[in-house]
A = this chain, B = another copy of it.
């Protein structure tokens, strides 16, 4: 792994995780002192108390996610940056500025220390990249066969942007629906590994932090950004269907406007997947006041992860509670939530 160049695996007298590393005793301390503490080091973590003491003030976003993705390494990332970016993005979707993250590991006995180390280093860089501090954590170990290598919970907090007013209640007829980039890349990247598929160009996950583009939007357009959601499990379709249903609004989207990479689209056809339902990890859907939607799009496109931002639909004054897709060939169909399970353990 490239990340290992700057942070080589420390010399250890063990090469895999054993139950003792979850004992809370000497071996747990040994594991933490082996380099984990140094890797994430900051003043708050350094206290090594049961919890962290941080400074907060006012309205604060608070969000949690557990990650069980399989395989734990995939094109474009691993479970480590997926977990850090995922929680950063959930905070950003609330209009928050990610600041502190807690990390809970559930390790399966036998996990190779090399793999764990690569994940830890990736987490370090993902956190630094978004300027968040990992301030507290917990490690449990379960017996072989009672887990699957590694599960990670990340919980984050951060102050709400002063100009943010993100709430489904703010959505109004005429709002434009924006996505910041191409659909379905994460799900297809995972599936390509699971199914052993090879494409001309490797399809890589879109896992990325969304805090910067969201902050950019809120700085400039504040309350005109009505709602933000990241379409992870269940994809864009499920998120839109949920919003339409819970807010009793009508949503129209246009198939020809959906930004889908040609190879990703091809892979979806091959795998029998509808890209509208495939999981994303660096994507958000925004409901934006119509008057500023074009400027918001221009602003978004100044960010590396949002070059392919596009308006894909709008809120209309009909078919309340439903999402209607206008297909490329001129047809219309209702878009519902993902009915069953499409890709288990995608995140």
Which A residues fall within an 8 A CB radius of B? 18-20, 22-29, 47-68, 70, 90-91, 93-96, 100, 102-106, 135-138, 140-143, 145-148, 151, 153, 155, 157, 160, 166-168, 229-230, 232-234, 238, 242, 246, 277, 279, 336-342, 344-345
Each complex incorporates copies of this chain amounting to 2
A-B contact pairs, 14 of them (CB 8 A): A23-B233, A23-B344, A24-B233, A25-B234, A25-B337, A25-B338, A27-B340, A50-B230, A52-B62, A64-B155, A66-B106, A140-B345, A142-B344, A153-B155
Q: Would A25 and B66 count as touching, CB distance under 8 A?
A: no
Distance (Å) between the CB of A190 and the closest chain B CB?
Answer: 14
CA distance A67 to B145 in the complex (A): 17
* A337 touches which of B29, B48, B58, B93 (Cβ 8 Å): B29
Contact (Cβ within 8 A) A60 B68: no
A47 cross-chain contacts in B, Cβ below 8 A: 167-168
Contacts of A143 in B (CB 8 A): 344-345
Task: Give the residues in chain B near A234, CB-CB below 8 Å.
Answer: 23-25, 28
Chain B nearest CB, measured from A250 CB (Å): 20
CB-CB under 8 A for A25 and B340, given A53-B60, A104-B153: yes
Flag if A157 contacts B20 (CB, 8 Å): no
Contact yes or no, B104 A64, CB < 8 A:
yes
Q: Please indicate the chain B residues that have their CB under 8 angstroms from the CB of A52 in the complex.
A: 61-63, 94
Q: A53-B96, A104-B153 are in contact. List 13 more A-B contacts (CB 8 A).
A: A22-B345, A26-B340, A49-B168, A50-B229, A53-B61, A53-B62, A54-B60, A56-B57, A56-B58, A56-B157, A66-B140, A140-B345, A141-B344
